[in-house]
Amino acid sequence: MDPITALLILVCVIVGGLLASLGVHMIPVGGAPAAMGTATGIATGTVQLMFGAALTGLFTASTVATFFETPSPLALVLVALSGAVGAMLMMSFTMLFANMLYVFGAGVVPVSGRVEVDPITKEPQTPYKTPQTDGHGVPNVSYISGWIGAFLGGFGGALMYFVLKNYAFPASLFPELGAVDAEMISAAAAGIAAAGIFVANAILSAYNIGGTIEGFHDPKFKRLPKALISCAVVSALCGLCVIIASWGLMGGGV
Amino acid sequence: MTVPTAPVEEEEKKPEKGWPPTETKLGIIAAVLGIIMTILPFMPSFVKAIGLTFVLVWGADSVRKTSRYGLGTGVPSIGVLAVGYGVIGAIAGMGIAKVGGDFTIGGVEVLNVGVLGGVAIAALIGYISGIFSNSEKFISMKIPGLERGMTELGVAGTLAFLLESSMVAGTLKLDAVLEDVFLSGAIAFMFVMSAIGMFHPFNACLGPDEDRGRTLLLSFEISGLICIILGIVSIALGAEWLGSSSLGLLNAALLILYGIVVWVVFYAKFVRRSFEASYEVVGTGLIKTVK
């Protein structure tokens, strides 16, 4: 295997892992308290939300990737951006419908529990918060933070997918299968490997925030550097694994 | 006036003949069985399925011992982490095996030791992420034994993936596995169900009255379900055993039979133990109550 290709895979996997970690810190996750309407965020775990967003991103990214036969910087940017948009769409719909359920179903106002004034719209938050709770629903600042988080996470996932598909498991490695099947194997291997690396990073970051966060205005966001260092090391090891697999698939040798 | 008497404390029930084994004992049994079944890819699927069952039970036990202190993100996260490391470790292991070569007699892959390299790498990644998660300077989760738990989960996830792949593809050659498991889409099913086999038992049973022996029975049951579906997948793909397609159907049929037996036996066992542990079982009238 070409050392430059190996380095490219490693760097892109690390960057993808760091973006996944950054994304997790920005999405509004409420966990179990949010399911009772007593905390800000969407009522599910970080892993489910971020993995769902990243998988939607991988679907859009893999669809866009079929339009490019040879890898180029333009293709890389377009595929990664389409993954980001797919993840943003998934996150937006989830946040919108979570808000509809909170507002029309539970009858609570989307309000942040961590800040007194919304940092973006400057709307007051505390007067609308039910006493003894930690906020409700997905307020404006969390919504925008969730958008940015999903964008970063989807971008990272699609970046990993693009590099793995074109450099680690290229379709040219499976000549005996025919062009269509070779493309599909290449996409499937890249997609599953990217998803595996993505969840590992997302979960380590989720442990860092202790399961719930409101967005970039949450005090827990300051813990970000600790997760970034851990994720960089774990992604580097995962990247090495993918390089070994790809090296084996190419029959060894340099 | 009658004074209500305090409920008589029931005597601690004796565990059934050595079940559950201690955590270390279960880990050693499962790891040895799993590794033996993994490095001998020529064996029929239902024999590998025994290894898969024990590996998933081991994973469920590791999930139990790490997440009973409270992870903050819910139990499923650590099961998904295990399969995340597992899929990466499995493809790395098969890559190493492809370079190292294998022992093939008459077109049948007899011994494949190289995949254990991937198991070792997954263990290393698990250990390092355990250190990062527990360290005061980094994520500081402060869970006793998290390093060991994550190492075991990396190994269990990798072994589960390798065993499932070799059950469906009949070999551990990376290109054959990519064709049979990845191209067919069976990998997505494996990804989700292996995670469920590890995290679901503790996620469903956790609480003050959680009982280790009972929790682990649920993992057996899920491995039975996985075997049934993998058997159906093998039939759909034209299963191979010893490189001859004539034995393929029998191979898959035995796997399905194994799955059904394991599922029924352990489901009944689990329900019986739940009834035994309950104060009283009252039927709603909708379903006939078994007592």
Tokens at A18, concatenated = 């760091």
| Position B61 confidence tier, pLDDT thresholds 50, 70, 90 | very high
How many Å lie between the alpha carbon of B39 and the closest alpha carbon of chain A? 18
- For A20-77, how does the pLDDT look when each residue is reduced to its tens digit (9 = 90+)? 999 999 999 988 888 888 889 898 888 888 888 988 999 999 999 989 888 889 999 9
pLDDT value at A92 more than 60: yes
- Work out how many domains chain A is built from and give that number: 1
Q: What are the beta bridge partners of residue A213?
A: A29
Do the domain assignments include residue B208? Answer: yes
- The phi, psi pair for B35, rounded to 5°, reads -70, -40
- Mean local confidence (pLDDT), A175-196: 89
pLDDT value at B1 more than 50: no
Do the domain assignments include residue A190? Answer: yes
Do the domain assignments include residue B141? Answer: yes
| Position A158 confidence tier, pLDDT thresholds 50, 70, 90 | very high
| Position B261 confidence tier, pLDDT thresholds 50, 70, 90 | very high
Check A244 against B89: CB less than 8 A apart.
no
Q: Which pLDDT value is given to residue A253?
A: 61
Check B95 against A174: CB less than 8 A apart.
no
Closest CA to A189 of A142, A138, A127, A241: A241
- Work out how many domains chain B is built from and give that number: 1
Tokens at B105, concatenated = 């007699």
Do the domain assignments include residue B262? Answer: yes
Tokens at B261, concatenated = 């037996």
Residue of A nearest to B86 (CA): A196
The angle, 0 to 180 degrees and rounded to 10, between the axes of the packed helices A140-163 and A73-100 is 150
pLDDT value at A95 more than 90: yes
Q: Is B242 left (phi over 0), alpha (psi -120 to 50) or beta?
A: left
Q: Which pLDDT value is given to residue B118?
A: 92
Instruction: Give me the domain span that covers residue B93.
Output: 23-277
Cis peptide before A139 (omega within 30 of 0): no
Average of per-residue pLDDT values in chain A: 90
Q: Which pLDDT value is given to residue B155?
A: 94
ipTM for this prediction: 0.90
Check A196 against B121: CB less than 8 A apart.
no
Q: Which pLDDT value is given to residue B226?
A: 94
Do the domain assignments include residue B13? Answer: no
Q: What percent of chain B has pLDDT over 70?
A: 87
Specify whether the CB–CB gap between A177 and A75 falls below 8 A: no
Q: Which pLDDT value is given to residue A163?
A: 93
β-pairing verdict for B103-105 and B108-111: antiparallel
Instruction: Give me the domain span that covers residue A98.
Output: 3-249
Which residues in chain A (71-110) have CB-CB distances under 8 A to chain B?
A: none
pLDDT value at A157 more than 90: yes
Which residues in chain A (162-181) have CB-CB distances under 8 A to chain B?
A: 169, 174, 177, 181
Residue type, B203: N
> Most A CBs within 10 Å: which of B142, B182, B184, as the mutation test of the A interface?
B182
pLDDT value at B15 more than 70: no
Residue type, A208: N
pLDDT value at B11 more than 70: no
In chain B, which ranges are E strands?
103-105, 108-111
Q: Quick one: CA dihedral B159, B162, B166, B172, positive or negative? A: negative
Do the domain assignments include residue B287? Answer: no
Tokens at B163, concatenated = 């065993």
Q: Which pLDDT value is given to residue B220?
A: 93
Check A227 against B178: CB less than 8 A apart.
no
Do the domain assignments include residue B16? Answer: no
What is the three-class DSSP state of B241?
Answer: strand
Q: Which pLDDT value is given to residue B175?
A: 82
Distance (Å) of CA B271 to CA A42, A214, B31, B202: 34, 41, 28, 16
Do the domain assignments include residue A143? Answer: yes
Do the domain assignments include residue A254? Answer: no
How many Cβ atoms from other residues are within 10 Å of residue B13's Cβ? 11
Query: How far apart, in whole angstroms, are the C-alpha atoms of residue B161 and residue B224?
Result: 15
What is the three-class DSSP state of A130?
Answer: coil
Query: How far apart, in whole angstroms, are the C-alpha atoms of residue B114 and residue A195?
Result: 24
B129 contacts in A (CB within 8 Å)? 200, 204, 230, 234
What is the three-class DSSP state of A125?
Answer: coil
DSSP B42-104: TS-HHHHHHHHHHHHHHHHHHHHHHHTT--SS-THHHHHHHHHHHHHHHHHHHHHHHHH--EE
Inter-chain Cβ pairs, chain A and chain B, closer than 8 A? 162
Check A200 against B182: CB less than 8 A apart.
no
Check B88 against A189: CB less than 8 A apart.
no
Question: Which of A48, A185, A193 lies closest to B183 in CB terms?
Answer: A185
Do the domain assignments include residue B15? Answer: no
- For A102-116, how does the pLDDT look when each residue is reduced to its tens digit (9 = 90+)? 999 988 899 998 888
Specify whether the CB–CB gap between A246 and A10 falls below 8 A: no
B198 contacts in A (CB within 8 Å)? none
Do the domain assignments include residue A96? Answer: yes
- Mean local confidence (pLDDT), B72-77: 84
